[in-house]
Amino acid sequence: MRTSKKAKWTASVMASMVLLVPAAGYAESAQQTVDSPALSSNPLVEQKVAGTLWLKSAEARALSYQAFNVAKLMYDKALAENVKKEKLAVVVDIDDTIIDTTGYTADVIFGLEASGEAWTKWIQSQVAVPLPGSVEFLNHVVETGGDVYYVTNRLPDIKEDTLKSLEKLGFPQAERDHLFIREAGMPSSKESRRQEVAKDHQIVLLMGDNLEDFSDAFAPVSVQARAEAVDQARELFGSRFIVLPNPMYGDWEKAIVESKKDLTIQQTKEMKRKALSGKE
């Protein structure tokens, strides 16, 4: 799940990947928009390289198929057990849950200055691709009588372009009343939007790459508190909650630095090392 707020640190996080990966391995849009690569001098960038490369791996692709295969099994089970003939719904996040946004990251790697404006232009370019298995699964839901709702923290300036993208990529129900963006003044929490869907649907599955795509119960800022919340909900993962992998960005990283802002590079490194070692 991306928001324009992530754009500023995406540039510093990703730029040095050009040192490790040939240009041919990235999205065509990156090569079209930037003539030469720009390198970052931020030492924190190297900490993101492996995770982002992994997102482009065959293993990540396999896990995407696995997630949507499991989702189909659980949806079909709910459908078979729906003796009351309730309206069933599947709720999905968009960015890095059903749509692969690494094309934007590629543009940043090759010199694009990351910003809210740059993110908007990338969305408007309509070069995004779906994650493996996503289009097929969501169409299966609709074809068997269910509804799909897209709940995202994308902002109002790209709502129409988001609908165009969903339709272009073959996602079902790419309609205004099935898309819940983060409206102006709305908190990042998606709980109120999930509740709107639940008013007249039984939500049988939620899919996302960030724990807050599922419940505000996962909102605690500390690493330990988030882990404990997951343990308490263990029975829901793989049955009602389907998590897509995203080692590149997310609230997991905010938790490591305790959601503190304006940290120096050294302070950030120290907090990450502390989390890695497990020592106080």
Residue whose entry in the numeric block shows the structure tokens 């289009």: 135
Return the pLDDT at 23: 32
* Assigned domain for 29 exists: no
* Assigned domain for 114 exists: no
Return the pLDDT at 177: 97
* Assigned domain for 111 exists: no
Residue whose entry in the numeric block shows the structure tokens 């490369």: 53
What 3-state class would DSSP assign to 67?
A: helix
| pLDDT at residue 187 tops 60 | yes
Q: Which residue has the higher pLDDT, 179 or 5?
A: 179
* Assigned domain for 80 exists: yes
Return mean pLDDT, the chain: 84
DSSP H helical segments within the chain, as ranges? 7-14, 28-33, 46-55, 58-80, 102-109, 116-124, 134-143, 159-168, 191-198, 223-232, 251-256, 265-277
Q: Which residue has the higher pLDDT, 169 or 108?
A: 169
* Assigned domain for 12 exists: no
Return the pLDDT at 35: 46
What 3-state class would DSSP assign to 217?
A: helix
From the list 252, 245, 251, the residue with the least C-alpha distance to 100 is 245
* Assigned domain for 21 exists: no
- Our count of domains for the chain comes to 1
Overall average pLDDT of the 17-22 stretch = 33
pLDDT digits (tens, 9 = 90+) for 116-147: 998 999 999 999 999 999 999 999 999 999 99
Enclosing domain of residue 77: 42-103+127-277
Residue 39: pLDDT band with limits 50, 70, 90: very low
What 3-state class would DSSP assign to 106?
A: helix
* Assigned domain for 92 exists: yes
CA distance 110 to 122: 14
| pLDDT at residue 41 tops 60 | no
Return the pLDDT at 4: 54
Contact status, residue 188 vs residue 80, Cβ threshold 8 Å: no
* Assigned domain for 35 exists: no
CATH of residue 79's domain is 3.40.50.1000
Give buried/exposed letters for 18-45 (b at 16+ CB in 10 A, else e): beeeeeeebbebbeebbeeeeebebeeb
Minimum mean pLDDT among 30-44, 208-222, 255-269: which range? 30-44
| pLDDT at residue 45 tops 60 | no
pLDDT digits (tens, 9 = 90+) for 223-263: 999 999 999 999 999 999 999 999 877 899 889 998 888 89
Residue 106: pLDDT band with limits 50, 70, 90: low
The pTM (predicted TM-score) of the whole model is: 0.84
pLDDT digits (tens, 9 = 90+) for 58-83: 999 999 999 999 999 999 999 999 99
Overall average pLDDT of the 97-118 stretch = 79
